[in-house]
Structure 1
Amino acid sequence: MRIFKKIEDFLSALDTAEITPERQEILQVFIEHMVSQIASEEAVRLNFICTHNSRRSHFAQIWAQTIAAWLELPKIECYSGGTEATAVYQSVISSLQHSGFEIAELGNGENPIFSIRYGENQLPIIAFSKEFDHPFNPKNFAAIMTCADADENCPFIPSASIRLKMTFEDPKISDGSSEEARHYQERSNQIATEMLYVFQQVKARLYEN
């Protein structure tokens, strides 16, 4: 499936060989879940969850949806949420724009709404901060915990059919520093690399026969 060339070039330059065996073991649980769901011809609904739904969970949602479309994997729907709503942090938007996404602000205020496009003929991803059980998100999803804080402080997610752990370091530690843009791009790159690895493995498993 065609995505914007700048995003395609970015993804093509990623090196999944950089992922350590220890990290691959964590990602394998995610891979097995998706293979099972797709093989059963069920929709795969992934809800990436962190505390504020402001940084890592949005990176994960957006890269996962984009890569699934690029690799033409069927029935994968990606969402994100938090244990509380805040706002998508501006450096997340800037990092995604740097990688080739076309982003428009649909509504401003304390919690802006963004339209994020990854291809000419694709529906945009609508991004804003929300709780994981917000009506915008579906029920019966796989909860992918992208931060340790949410994983520890949200022991029960009623609408989740399965709960998986895929945590990342918070780029927030660099907010307001001269390293902020670099740290956000590094985190975006890491999440994109791991999502690429996951979905490549899923595709290989589905079509190995």
Structure 2
Amino acid sequence: MSLYPPLQAYIERAQALPIGEERKRILQVLIDYVQQKIDQGQDINLNFICTHNSRRSQFSQLWGKVAATYHGIDMNSFSGGVEVTAFNERAVASIRRFGFKVTKKGEANPTYFVFFSDDEDPIVTFSKVFDDAANAPTAFAAVMTCSHADENCPFIPGAEARIPVRYEDPKAYDDTELEEEKYDERSLQIASEMLYVFSRIKKK
């Protein structure tokens, strides 16, 4: 697989970021889940969930798929929320800065086609509830990327595992001088951690 050159450069930056021991302990639960699916020869379905499915869960869906593909692992990456809004335009702008190629269809809650390589199909994403028909109905891990969704959604139908991997919301910096920096910082952190997760998987 040949990634777009700007995206490859950001992946190298993400791989160089340090990950603290506490975060590694959190991520180990996700590593163990993915490894178990590999060992059992089963499909890997990850549904990244936050409240509005607009920022952190979208970043996680995208970087999860890129990281898995980068490390040669077949993984189905989904995202959802407890409310429908839209893939936030600030987050979309951030992934464009990272070198993803993005096309958009629709207006109110657009569907985005996100390309990371000419060798791979685009990742198709839009804001939706976690049990939307576009997501895996069963046999998936619910990866909870925000505290609000994790605390207010105690039961995820169809999930065989629930794995909290929480991130701070860049929304706090909307319409400030730090907006772009903080969105890119969060995206890079998620990229770093997803790359770390899939680098630890032992393939059959």
The alignment's TM-score, normalised by the length of structure 1, stands at 0.94
Counterpart CA distance in 2 for 1:40 and 1:136 is 25
Please state how far the C-alpha of 1:128 moved relative to its aligned partner.
Answer: 0.7
Show the 5 A alignment for 1:8-27.
8-15=8-15, 18-27=18-27
What's the CA shift string for 1:113-136, capped at 9, x where partnerless?
A: 111001102111111100000011
Instruction: Please give the secondary structure, in 2, of the residue aligned with 1:48.
Output: strand
What's the CA shift string for 1:137-189, capped at 9, x where partnerless?
A: 11121100000000000000111111101000000000111111111000000
Which residue is 1:159 aligned to?
A: 158
Counterpart CA distance in 2 for 1:41 and 1:165 is 24
Identity %: 40
Q: Which runs of 5+ in 1 are unaligned?
A: none
Counterpart CA distance in 2 for 1:71 and 1:3 is 12
Counterpart CA distance in 2 for 1:181 and 1:112 is 21
Counterpart CA distance in 2 for 1:16 and 1:206 is 23
- 2:56 maps to a residue whose letter is R
Counterpart CA distance in 2 for 1:14 and 1:90 is 22
Please state how far the C-alpha of 1:12 moved relative to its aligned partner.
Answer: 1.6
Please state how far the C-alpha of 1:3 moved relative to its aligned partner.
Answer: 1.9
Counterpart CA distance in 2 for 1:118 and 1:24 is 26
Which residue is 1:84 aligned to?
A: 83
Please state how far the C-alpha of 1:17 moved relative to its aligned partner.
Answer: 5.5
Return closer, same or farther for 1:16/1:153 CA change in 2, 3 Å cut-off: farther
- Pick the aligned partner of 1:130 from 125, 128, 131: 128
Residues matched between the structures, number: 203
Question: Runs (4+) of structure 1 moved beyond 2 Å?
Answer: 13-17
Paired residues of 1:16 and 1:196 also in contact (CA < 8 A): no
Please state how far the C-alpha of 1:16 moved relative to its aligned partner.
Answer: 5.0
Which residue is 1:35 aligned to?
A: 35
Instruction: Please give the secondary structure, in 1, of the residue aligned with 2:14.
Output: coil
RMSD: 1.1
Residue 49 (structure 2) pairs with residue 49 (structure 1): yes
Paired residues of 1:45 and 1:77 also in contact (CA < 8 A): yes
Show the 5 A alignment for 1:1-209.
1-15=1-15, 18-74=18-74, 76-108=75-107, 110-140=108-138, 141-202=140-201, 205-206=202-203
Paired residues of 1:4 and 1:100 also in contact (CA < 8 A): yes
Counterpart CA distance in 1 for 2:49 and 2:16 is 23
Instruction: Please give the secondary structure, in 2, of the residue aligned with 1:138.
Output: coil
What's the CA shift string for 1:49-79, capped at 9, x where partnerless?
A: 00000000000000010111111113x1000
Return closer, same or farther for 1:98/1:17 CA change in 2, 3 Å cut-off: closer
* Range that drifts further, 173-182 or 56-65: 173-182
Counterpart CA distance in 1 for 2:39 and 2:104 is 37
- 1:117 maps to a residue whose letter is F
